[in-house]
Amino acid sequence: ILKNNTLKRLNGTNENRVAYLVDGTKVTLQPGASISYPVFLQKDKRVVYLTGDAFFDVAKDATKPFFVYTNDIVLRVLGTSFNVSNNKNTGNITVIVKTGKVSVYNNTGLHKAEYILTPNQLITYTPQSRRIIKSDLDSAHTQLGDTPEAPAISFKFEEAPVSKIFETLEAGYGIRINFDQDAFSRCMVTTSLTDEAFEEKL
């Protein structure tokens, strides 16, 4: 859904789904989860708003920190992978870092204490007390630290019409691409578009 240059991606299925951001970040949305963000991320930072549970594999870009806002907390990263779980019953939020470093802080109140998480560390945020508790990953949380499985979109094409490539990009990024269907339908391409950002793929 596109509204006021903000794109909202909702996983309305019963399976995990991958959403691609234009900077190369991959977000695995669990059922019922959604993210919203500016279509073409801002020049100085990348901001995403999350509802529900998701696994983020953030593209590295030291000049543009990546922020995830979910309920009362904010996560700041430069390039890493981590899991965010929102408990629907209690409202508790759990963040587990798989690779890299994540900075977490409370977005409410005047005192914004910052917690730095490294691999196999987690924080739990309780909205009732507005407290963040940091700990190491234990056996009770190992499943939360696993990367959610999701069917990935293949960006490898063998003698494919350019129109098919555009359709695949539209599905992966949620962005409508305007092109002349007749002009591109007979143009065949063999290519592999893997870790490039959206503009490089185009």
Residues 103, 76: contact at Cβ < 8 Å?
Answer: yes
pLDDT per residue as tens digits for the range 160-187: 888 888 888 887 877 778 888 787 778 8
Neighbours of 85 (CB within 10 A): 20
**Distance between start and end Cα atoms, the chain:** 21
pTM for this structure?
0.79
In angstroms, the Cα distances linking 65 to 19, 68, 141, 155 are: 19, 10, 27, 26
Task: Give the full edge-to-edge strand order of the sheet including 114-117.
Answer: 2-3, 6-10, 34-38, 46-51, 66-70, 73-77, 102-106, 114-117
Q: Are strands 46-51 and 66-70 parallel, antiparallel or unpaired?
A: parallel
pLDDT in tens, 84-111: 999 888 889 999 998 899 999 888 755 5
- Tens of each residue's pLDDT in the chain, 202 residues: 667 778 899 999 999 999 998 888 999 999 999 999 987 766 788 999 999 999 999 988 888 899 999 988 999 987 788 999 998 888 899 999 988 999 998 887 555 678 999 988 889 998 888 888 898 877 555 554 455 666 667 788 888 888 888 888 887 877 778 888 787 778 888 888 876 777 787 7
Cα–Cα distance measured from residue 24 to residue 158, given in angstroms and rounded to the nearest whole number: 22
